[in-house]
Structure 1
Amino acid sequence: MFSVDNYINSIKANLEKQSELLEGNLKKILAYNFSSDIDLLDFTAFIEPTRFELSIRMFSMDKEANEVFYEGNDTTVFGGSVAILPEVEYHQLNDIQLNDFFDFYEQNEETLVTKEQNAFTDWFRECWETAGGEVLHLPSYFVFHDEYKSFDLKRNQWIDDDEKWS
């Protein structure tokens, strides 16, 4: 009833519907006047697998892995975090299929997690490139909440988080 390819293709199709929104929000970010205390940007994906929802938030960080907040008087300077993508549905399933789907997912979890993360990352990277992300001078990463690796948007490769903070 379910297949890995159909599930991943469904994710890609649903994400594609959100590309224009994500690209528009990324273009706004590129125009920010970032605080000089910011060393890097983390675009963090939060996934709610039981509701098939994804949201993305940008955090401005220093090299000690602390979020940077700007508390000065210049209202043009940015420091902190901002929503890049509100919760959006990345897969649809009717309620009667849920138990069967979660059985399928459990049996294929190792394969599915990697393919899901690749689909989310490829989509974000494509939107980043379309929005003109390469003009941003700060190191920038796409990460999954509570994971220990990051996708370096400048070098187009996965890195261990230790690299990012060193």
Structure 2
Amino acid sequence: MFTTENYISTLKINLEKNSVNLIKNIKEILDLNYYNEIEILDFTVFIQPFELSIMMFSMDKEANEVFYEGNDSKIFAGSHEILGEIEYFDLQDDKMDEFWEFFEQNDKIISKAEEQTILQWFVDCWKKAKGESIKLPVYFCFHDDDKSFDLINMEWISDEGKWA
């Protein structure tokens, strides 16, 4: 039988297994030579059933990705994979129907707890990697969501606030 508590507990355990890799990858981006037209760094989480990945996008205030077309290979702009697809929940095939029935009955509670758990994990890794040393506005969001988490002020803001 599935419970929200067990699902979130399993999520936490599986995220934690990837903390060392996430911290290492965040540390790597701290030393990048960011193109001077980059105004925002946007960490976006892409969630698929039982898997997630995280990409960093360099953006301008118009919500456009910034690219560098010069010849200096030391200048960074564009996107960078922070964490490739990781599995955060393992489900046996014979339990699929039972799980999706449980999920449909508890969708709002599970989604909110899942979002908070993933955010907290990322913020913890961000702090351990000393991510705050980046001198650009930095945000964390879930793909296709209308809000972002400001990693400098540690608060949720609307996307309009991010691009203003």
Cα RMSD for the two superposed structures:
0.5
- Counterpart of 1:86 in structure 2: which amino acid? G
Distance 2:96 2:128 in 1: 35
Distance 1:42 1:134 in 2: 14
- 1:24 matched residue in structure 2: 24
Runs of 5+ consecutive residues of structure 1 not aligned to the other structure: none
Please point out which of 113, 123, 136 is paired with 1:115: 113
Matches within 5 A, 1:26-105: 26-49=26-49, 52-105=50-103
Q: How many residues align?
A: 164
Per-residue CA shift, 1:80-130, capped at 9, x if unaligned?
A: 001100000011111111110000000000111110000110000110100
- 1:138 matched residue in structure 2: 136
Output the TM-score relative to the length of structure 1: 0.98
Per-residue CA shift, 1:28-62, capped at 9, x if unaligned?
A: 0011000010000110000002xx00000000000
Please point out which of 150, 153, 165 is paired with 2:151: 153
- Counterpart of 1:44 in structure 2: which amino acid? T
Runs of 5+ consecutive residues of structure 2 not aligned to the other structure: none
Question: Runs of 4 or more off by more than 2 Å in structure 1?
Answer: none
Output the TM-score relative to the length of structure 2: 0.99
Q: Percent of aligned positions with the same letter in both sequences?
A: 53
Distance 1:127 1:71 in 2: 32
SS at match of 1:138: coil
- 1:125 matched residue in structure 2: 123
- Counterpart of 1:41 in structure 2: which amino acid? L
SS at match of 2:45: strand
Distance 1:106 1:160 in 2: 27
